[in-house]
Structure 1
């Protein structure tokens, strides 16, 4: 039985079910062009528009789902809408990029048929995480997301892909076990799984701290947070390009989203522990930036950049937990805008990177020498995405870092201000290192392959979206403030 405390629940079911349905259809009739994917992807976007129509005028919507003695809670608010839209846009772009990529780079292999349903399951599981208001639904979404991500990583079938994928699976299972043990502790102590109920019932003590520690460790492992990040680069190095774009932009964000929500509900005043997580974030910004700067392979540069950029999100823990309301308000907006900016920029950068590797046949940064004359559009997409990652105006990355800087200044957290400045310099260093080799004029000529227009188009669109989001940043910020999207 479903108790509607909000709007029409069928719209939510459409948002969740359509990606899986479309993924199954694509597996049966594999698309050879991008336009059918774009056309059919309008369906989940229309369903999402219906959810916008429900939530924006009335505020947060809640649904209670009774399964016998078990009650699940789903909710939709401003933050949910922003993350659902982000998921739809990036999944659509990755799926539309895939036909030409599979045709030109992979060939007509039977294993590519699994790309579409796994992408559909991944989009649905992420949407379930954004909508969930209880620990059981969060666990189900987390497991579905992890299994779909592992399946996508194993698709290449090469030895390196299988080794990296199985390592990822093992670590994901360890993270899931830790998360499940934390859930069991909370259920045993207070007999509730809904977040709203736990916020009222949970009492400070050893049980709560052990549960939060287990939950956090499992989620941070899945999110490749420092120092649990070593698995990330090998996984991306062997994965298909559209899979890397999806994983770096969305999958690791799902675990971060759950962790931050749980901290805000269970331990909203744990300032010292939040400082510890913030310290890990600062270390991630610096260490990930250094590894990206030293990386020899182009995909490794982008992968280690993900570790560094995720550090900014971890800084949000220390600015949101145990701080003054005015600090938390600015940090809340900066954290989620940073997540959106990084997701769009990183997806665009991975697609542009795939184009560069496809055209030159070179996977190393040094192999790009002379590419500027033959591949200006791919380098343009890479550079536009880099503007947001570095944090240069007028990108959304600049606005997000400005908000985080303002929150750090208001809280008196001077070390975080130094981290933001140093992270910006390191980001510029590893980005300009790529361009340094690309603009070498006396390089030996390479046998370039022409990149299909659809692969160029969707890389450029995502990169531009990360830039233009900064010009309309007030819209996502208003979305976070309205419709129950605040912290």
Structure 2
């Protein structure tokens, strides 16, 4: 219980301290992020030893109390957020200008830390929440801080993207809130375990449809992803990494929870998720293949990868294939954070992020280029990465079920991923006669260590996938 309270309170208190003491915001931010990671590890150990637990805040039971649920799935998401966030925080501590002009650099650095810590606290609250209304409150905090992160650089494009993000988030929030209100009118409770009761009645299905539609907007699920590519590509690299790797995963997490709670009666919802996911794989992949700028390619790649995760949730049914969706979420979080951080460093090295101009004679490939390549391997799903393990479990289950149509769609999506990522990797790592003998190597920065560490983490997770799988076994389904 103590560790749970740390996860819920520490980030918000640290955010307040970082906002009040600008000169100490970076040490406060990195320290709080590290303590948050330690608390997440302790909670994981407790769940492995003692199993899942539910705690009512203040001792008030349902429907008056706010239940906190700590099971395998929640712990996996907490660990993902803690360690990806720690990697991005290390990057933000470095000397990289984070795409901000000199006049805006101090302001950008100052407000990154309070916004990130508020985002961390909101995600912790969301993953631990056991009722729908508390999820809504966490989403509201998360939405506001995510908009702030998007607009952090103060550029015109970032401000416009943040405004679109804000409008989309408000529409999604209204739909979720309306769905929760209808659900409460139908059942008289808002705990997550009312989902089976909702899918059994027409009023409940309407409530669930509104909640899922709101989550689809917040999770940038095709065709409701219109706001996302501009928001993720316009933000500074640290913010882009957090938005793509972590923030969009919160909606996918709740969709997975709803699917698991609904059981066999949630089949129509899963069918809709599968269809939307298939559309996202192809639409996102096609736009990434046509993108002219590196960060925009990575942003469209997120649309495609979210689609793959939605397909995994959609085809899971009430069986165990949902574990593949979680492994894909973990793999994408690590690889996409590394990719956005690497993309920012590559743009900094070259002075631009045009894909056609990534190969320069006077510049040898550096750590950022290698980090991007390793992350690409994980996103495509090549061994021994976590992306490969997730796809292997998913494909094996589909083949056993005879779902050959889904197998074919996923294979085509994988080929698309390989095609658009190869556009970048082939240019970034091109050597031989293309590189001049006296070509310089980029200066080493802490951001390179963060990008390499996160990308290598996606590789290591593939070799240690038994750890998250063991935790997921402790999830009631």
Q: Same fold (TM over 0.5)?
A: yes
The superposition leaves residues 156-205 of structure 1 with CA deviations (integer Å, 9 ceiling, x where unpaired) of 11111111100110010000000001000000111001112x14644622
Kept in 1, the 8 Å contact 2:219–2:249? The answer is: yes
1:91 aligns with 2:85: yes
1:52 aligns with 2:48: no
The superposition leaves residues 131-177 of structure 1 with CA deviations (integer Å, 9 ceiling, x where unpaired) of 11101111111111111101111111111111110011001000000
Q: Structure 1 residues 370 and 245 mapped into 2: Cα distance closer, same or farther (>3 Å)?
A: same
Q: Structure 1 residues 318 and 53 mapped into 2: Cα distance closer, same or farther (>3 Å)?
A: closer
What does residue range 102-121 of structure 1 map to in structure 2 within 5 Å? Answer: 103=97, 105-106=99-100, 107=102, 108-121=105-118
Question: 2:191: which partner in 1?
Answer: 194
Question: 2:213: which partner in 1?
Answer: 217
Kept in 2, the 8 Å contact 1:359–1:449? The answer is: no
Partner SS state of residue 265, structure 2: coil
Aligned equivalents of 1:219 and 1:203: distance in 2? Answer: 17
Aligned counterpart for 2:422 among listed residues 416, 432, 435: 432
The superposition leaves residues 411-448 of structure 1 with CA deviations (integer Å, 9 ceiling, x where unpaired) of 22211101221111111101111133332855899998
Question: 2:134: which partner in 1?
Answer: 137
For the aligned residues, what is the CA RMSD?
2.5
Aligned counterpart for 1:71 among listed residues 61, 65, 68: 65
1:169 aligns with 2:166: yes
Kept in 2, the 8 Å contact 1:360–1:446? The answer is: no
Q: Structure 1 residues 225 and 445 mapped into 2: Cα distance closer, same or farther (>3 Å)?
A: farther
What does residue range 1-12 of structure 1 map to in structure 2 within 5 Å? Answer: 9-12=1-4
Question: 2:292: which partner in 1?
Answer: 296
Kept in 2, the 8 Å contact 1:355–1:451? The answer is: no
282-291 vs 44-53, which moves further: 44-53
Taking structure 1 as the reference length, what is the TM-score of the superposition?
0.90
Partner SS state of residue 154, structure 2: coil
Q: Structure 1 residues 100 and 353 mapped into 2: Cα distance closer, same or farther (>3 Å)?
A: same
What does residue range 444-463 of structure 1 map to in structure 2 within 5 Å? Answer: 450-463=442-455
Structure 1 unaligned regions, length at least 5: 1-8
Question: 1:5: which partner in 2?
Answer: none
Question: 2:375: which partner in 1?
Answer: 385
The superposition leaves residues 239-272 of structure 1 with CA deviations (integer Å, 9 ceiling, x where unpaired) of 0100000000111010111122123324642324
Aligned equivalents of 1:53 and 1:412: distance in 2? Answer: 38
Aligned length: 469
Partner SS state of residue 86, structure 1: helix
Taking structure 2 as the reference length, what is the TM-score of the superposition?
0.92
The superposition leaves residues 356-388 of structure 1 with CA deviations (integer Å, 9 ceiling, x where unpaired) of 001101121012122795233211100000111
What does residue range 33-432 of structure 1 map to in structure 2 within 5 Å? Answer: 41-65=33-57, 70-101=64-95, 103=97, 105-106=99-100, 107=102, 108-196=105-193, 198-199=194-195, 201-202=197-198, 204-266=200-262, 268-321=264-317, 323=318, 328-329=319-320, 331-370=321-360, 373-432=363-422
Q: Structure 1 residues 132 and 268 mapped into 2: Cα distance closer, same or farther (>3 Å)?
A: farther
Structure 2 unaligned regions, length at least 5: none
- What's the CA shift for 1:17? 1.8
Aligned equivalents of 2:80 and 2:87: distance in 1? Answer: 11
Aligned equivalents of 1:177 and 1:48: distance in 2? Answer: 31
